Structure 1
Amino acid sequence: MEIMLLDSSDPVVAQAAPILATGRKWTPQTATEQAKAALRHRDIVGQVQEGRSGLGLGASTPTWSKATPSQRRKLVLQEVHRDEEAGRCAQAVAQAKQGKWMAWEGIEKRKISWQELWEMETFRATSLKHILVGCKTSLTQGRYTWRHNQVLKSLAAVLESRQTSVNALPPPSSRWQATSFVREGEGQANLTSVGPGAGQLGGARDWKLVADLGQKLCFPAEIASTNLRPDLVMWSASIKLVYIIELTVPWESSVEEAYERKRLRYAELAADVQQRGWRAKVRPVEVGCRGFVATSTSRLLREMGVRGKVLKRGASGCG
């Protein structure tokens, strides 16, 4: 409201803008002025590359000089939020214990509710890491195995549903019908439907899936002979393609380490499979012991063609 009044074309309205009562360390007027200065400076700098997507491939935003009044207000609010978030992150980096999450790599962003924060209050002891991943008693009693299998069940359920959907489709050589869109208020689209180019499973209709749950998994003899037991194996004999999926539930700061360790563990098996005329894709996936899903897990689901609400539901279920 203050921005709208200050930017009014009527000088009387602009001068009548109220002065909001705030604390000593932060005032709305100072924050908005700093945001406007940053936006004007961004106009001078011009378009820059962000991330690995390349120049010009990111989301385009209107420049300050060409933005409408409503767009300017939105830009100012976004800049204020960005500046406040940067301040919180800078403070977190300087905190030895509370800021350890800043060192996590390969973890999907996640919003934490106040209820979850209150539930974490009982775990303020420094022994949390020992309790969740380093307790020998919990290991011998099978608690870590139970937790791992619960996550594996959720992941296997999503992939099994995907496998069933793909195998039920017409042969890949048949002509695909155009995608039918549903107008707002006229019903719901099928969230588990598979398009001709969605995912890496669309090239076959004979996918099989085995999971290391309830019984000792044996690697398919038609592919290779090994004593290794991946958590999930998904393969198609028609296109000679096998996915070797290994799940880890590590401490969140050890996600990248777990990924590399499991990838190297199955590298020799993948080479043996390829020598037998198959294509092998080793896919280590991780879900943190506190429920934070790694990017490797979301990447696997997208590769399998899981999209939209199904992707979010599958990732949250694994967490």
Structure 2
Amino acid sequence: MHQFAPVIQAEADSARAAIVAGDGSTAACNKARATAKDNVSSHVHSIITLEREQHVASLVQQGAWLRVANEEDADSYWSSLKFDLPRSTCSFLTRARLNVAPSFTNLHKWGKLSARFTWRHNSVVKALADGLTAAIKDTDKHTEVLCDLAPDSYSSHVDTIPSDILTTNVFPDITVINRSLKRIDIVEITVPFESVESFRNAESRKSTRYASLQNDLAGLGWTVKQHHIAVGSLGMIPKSTSHSLTCLLKQISGCNSNTSSLICKKMAKIALCCSYAVFNRRSDKLWLPPGPTKLFSV
């Protein structure tokens, strides 16, 4: 109670001053005391509310949820998606926002890491690769889209940087290559848990990871640009992803934002549905996701 002492003392002094300045009647004294009591109650309530908000914001899970809530409300893709889902999926979405779903970080805590998250990630990669391929199909014969989706194993890789361009052991998720212009667009996809920190950390990590590859390609005369595409595990599409994808599509095919919106909606739904599938089998340690040739699609 010591943090409230100054407020209580100040209001008591104010009440005494009001009584002295008044006419001395019982009604005036009672009114001064009631006013002081209400003021103390209001100040104490404000202090307690502020302390609670600061405490919640400092918590790892609850604080992350509060910070991402505003961004989710501003995300039109996510806002429209959540009203067009089965009841069970919506229930999962609510629990997952509280960070009690089997995210990568949580499974690491619980000791239950598996290929199921690679299945989700690769499903999103395939949706984006298919969208990019369709966009350039009838507009640019010199551009090819390569994606790191090996058909035999989740642990295998595809040379998304062809060996005739550069021999490397780095495998971006998707590359868009125009040999006539000597231009390569590196597209990296992440499906993190939906916290502001997760999106920022993923983008920073990917940028650092491919810095040396970009320098090597630039040294060979190639124009290289990296695009980070983040899709939240619950289907949230941050504004940075929409902007990056729109710019990429406009550059490689001249497509407008409508094409970008359609691809974003498809990736969002795939990420959420895959997360829900993983959630439903969270207690089954023996469950394996469908093979690399049976990625989820909508």
TMscore range, shorter length? 0.5 to 0.7
Q: What is the aligned counterpart of 2:113 among 139, 160, 163?
A: 139
SS of the aligned residue for 1:245 comes to: strand
AA matched with 2:175? V
SS of the aligned residue for 1:252 comes to: coil
Whose radius of gyration is greater, 1 or 2? Answer: 2
The aligned counterpart of 2:126 is 153
Q: Relative contact order, CA 8 A, sep 6+: which one is greater?
A: 2
Measure the CA separation in 1 of the matches of 2:187 and 2:149: 13
Residue 93 of structure 1 and its aligned partner are, at CA, apart by 6.8
Contact 1:106 1:255 in 2 (8 A): no
TM-score, normalised on structure 1?
0.53
For the pair 1:113 / 2:83, whether they are aligned, the reply is yes
Change (3 A) 1:222 1:106: farther
Q: What is the aligned counterpart of 2:211 among 251, 255, 267?
A: 267
Q: Which runs of 5+ in 2 are unaligned?
A: 1-49, 152-156, 269-298
Contact 2:146 2:176 in 1 (8 A): yes
Higher mean displacement: 305-314 or 281-290: 305-314
Contact 1:285 1:294 in 2 (8 A): no
For the pair 1:162 / 2:156, whether they are aligned, the reply is no
Contact 1:139 1:145 in 2 (8 A): no
Residue 143 of structure 1 and its aligned partner are, at CA, apart by 0.6
**Residues 75-114 of structure 1: CA deviation (Å, up to 9, x unaligned):** xxxxxxxxxxxxxxx9x97655666344249877131428
Change (3 A) 1:101 1:207: same
Tell me how many residue pairs correspond in the alignment: 189
Measure the CA separation in 2 of the matches of 1:239 and 1:314: 26
Residue 138 of structure 1 and its aligned partner are, at CA, apart by 4.6
Residue 297 of structure 1 and its aligned partner are, at CA, apart by 2.5
The aligned counterpart of 2:148 is 212
Change (3 A) 1:278 1:251: same
Measure the CA separation in 2 of the matches of 1:150 and 1:249: 11
Change (3 A) 1:103 1:122: closer
**Residues 29-48 of structure 1: CA deviation (Å, up to 9, x unaligned):** xxxxxxxxxxxxxxxxxxxx
SS of the aligned residue for 1:165 comes to: coil
SS of the aligned residue for 1:166 comes to: coil
For the pair 1:241 / 2:206, whether they are aligned, the reply is no
Q: What is the aligned counterpart of 1:103 among 62, 67, 76?
A: 67
Once the two structures are superposed, the pairs formed by residues 49-128 of structure 1 within 5 Å of their partners are: 96=57, 100-104=64-68, 109=75, 110-111=78-79, 112-113=82-83, 115=87, 117-123=90-96, 127-128=100-101
TM-score, normalised on structure 2?
0.56
Contact 1:252 1:290 in 2 (8 A): yes
Measure the CA separation in 1 of the matches of 2:211 and 2:97: 39
Query: Following TM superposition, where does structure 1 have runs of at least 4 consecutive aligned residues deviating by more than 4 angstroms?
Result: 92-99, 105-108, 114-117, 121-126
Residue 161 of structure 1 and its aligned partner are, at CA, apart by 0.6
AA matched with 2:158? L
For the pair 1:314 / 2:259, whether they are aligned, the reply is no
**Residues 14-61 of structure 1: CA deviation (Å, up to 9, x unaligned):** xxxxxxxxxxxxxxxxxxxxxxxxxxxxxxxxxxxxxxxxxxxxxxxx
SS of the aligned residue for 2:229 comes to: strand
Residue 252 of structure 1 and its aligned partner are, at CA, apart by 1.8
AA matched with 1:113? F
AA matched with 1:280? V
Q: Which runs of 5+ in 1 are unaligned?
A: 1-89, 168-204
Residue 310 of structure 1 and its aligned partner are, at CA, apart by 2.1
Contact 1:242 1:279 in 2 (8 A): yes
SS of the aligned residue for 2:120 comes to: helix
AA matched with 2:177? W
Measure the CA separation in 1 of the matches of 2:104 and 2:175: 26
